[in-house]
Amino acid sequence: MSQNSPVISLSDAEVIKEEVNTESCDKEESVKTESCEAETKTMSKNQQRKQRRLEAKLKFRPEKRKLERERRKEKRRQAISEGVVLPPSRKKLKQKLMEPSDISIVVDCSFEEHMHDGDIKKLVKQIQHCYAINRRSPCPCKYVVSSYGGKMKDIIENLSGATQWNISWREESYDSLFSKENIVYLSAESENTLTCLEEGKAYIIGGLVDHNSKKGLCHELAVKRGVRHAQLPISQYIDMKSRKVLTVDHVFEILLKFQQQKDWESAFFSVIPKRKGAQAKLDSNLCSSGHVTEGTTNETEVSESNDGKT
């Protein structure tokens, strides 16, 4: 390194060293070896041009990285001086000690046989997104994936870093992980309505990406298992042009937002995509966020319909 070369941190140096090692004689240092010189001579003009471009790129990489780092720092400093509230950095997030509430959100992954491979991959993405939002939430919940196995497990195990996600991966079904009285299966088809979230309870989301082809499946199975179920109180707060069936990650995010703000309406508006055509209900303020609505039974957080029919 010449005297004018930029000073680079140890970690950068290590990264670069690693890259140099893996790209064999393509790299500046390696081309100096005799065998590589010989190889260079036997290269076509096109290959030699590529080689020169790569060498030039590697030469300036440390300087470029340093400039990028400084630019990012400057942008951050400027945002802070303008009073912008910045999201926590990755480093901060790693340092942050997660203190989840005693509410569990469970993604029930027992529907693999009902999904095409592409939809299993989509579900994995949604599970990953749930992890990211739970991690960033000021009120994280316990995040459990139940009936974990099969193709989904293979996909997840091949994702880098997935094993470190703060998720409890369980092969058991949700009803062997929690006692029946603590389970609430979320389902758009339920005749009951969720009014608030309670500590100690487990809220189950059906891990199913089906593009509406398996309407009511999760609800049907929850009824068969004899667990309580409830829909989100969407129609109490907003009018929607399309069906009220949401994706796994949207439901997850709504629960987290509600847990944080104790306000269903704002949770729905901040999460439900605009294309669903959500509009505020004029009388929505008549519904309070934490109380049982009229016509309910003795439950505290799920308001049940009078007839109990689906």
Ligand X SMILES: C[S@@+](CC[C@H](N)C(=O)[O-])C[C@H]1O[C@@H](n2cnc3c(N)ncnc32)[C@H](O)[C@@H]1O
Question: Of the ranges 50-58, 86-94, 240-248, 285-293, which one interacts with ligand X (CB under 6 A)?
Answer: 240-248
148-166 as b/e: b if 16+ CB within 10 A: beeebbebbeeeeebeebe
| CA 303 to chain CA mean position, Å | 29
For residues 169 and 107, what is the distance between their CA atoms, to the nearest angstrom?
Answer: 10
- Chain positions 246 to 265 lying near ligand X, rule: CB under 6 A, are 246-248, 251
Q: How far is CA 280 from CA 10, 64, 163, 187, in A?
A: 54, 49, 41, 22
CA 86, 289, 255, 238 dihedral sign is: negative
54 is in an annotated binding site: no
Give the number of other Cβ atoms within 10 Å of residue 304's Cβ: 20
**Nearest to ligand X of 51, 193 (CB atom):** 193
Site string for ligand X, 163-192 (x = CB under 6 A): -----------------------xxx----
What H or E segment, with its residue span, contains residue 302?
strand 302-303
Least separation, in Å, of the C-beta of 222 and ligand X? 9
User: Of 184, 269, 291, nearest to 229 (Cα)?
Assistant: 184
- Which member of 127, 232, 238, 271 binds ligand X (CB under 6 A)? 232
Least separation, in Å, of the C-beta of 178 and ligand X? 15
For residues 183 and 144, what is the distance between their CA atoms, to the nearest angstrom?
Answer: 13
The answer to whether 104 contacts ligand X (rule: CB under 6 A) is: no
Question: Of the ranges 13-21, 159-167, 213-221, 271-279, which one interacts with ligand X (CB under 6 A)?
Answer: 213-221
Tokens of 2: 């010449």
240 by Cβ neighbours in 10 Å (0-12 / 13-18 / 19+) ranks as middle
**Nearest to ligand X of 169, 252 (CB atom):** 252
- Which member of 37, 215, 277, 306 binds ligand X (CB under 6 A)? 215
**Nearest to ligand X of 8, 248 (CB atom):** 248
Question: Of the ranges 2-10, 27-35, 207-215, 262-270, which one interacts with ligand X (CB under 6 A)?
Answer: 207-215
218 is in an annotated binding site: yes
- Which member of 143, 156, 184, 206 binds ligand X (CB under 6 A)? 206
186 is in an annotated binding site: yes
For residues 70 and 41, what is the distance between their CA atoms, to the nearest angstrom?
Answer: 40
**Nearest to ligand X of 20, 240 (CB atom):** 240
The answer to whether 233 contacts ligand X (rule: CB under 6 A) is: no
- Which member of 216, 225, 261, 263 binds ligand X (CB under 6 A)? 216
206 is in an annotated binding site: yes
Quick check: 124 and 222 in contact, CB under 8 A?
A: no
Catalytic (active-site) positions: 210
For residues 130 and 207, what is the distance between their CA atoms, to the nearest angstrom?
Answer: 12
- The residue with tokens 């709504």 is 254
| Residue ranges that bind ligand X, judged by CB under 6 A | 186-188, 205-206, 208, 210, 214-219, 231-232, 234, 244-248, 251
**Annotated binding residues for S-adenosyl-L-methionine:** 186, 206, 218, 232
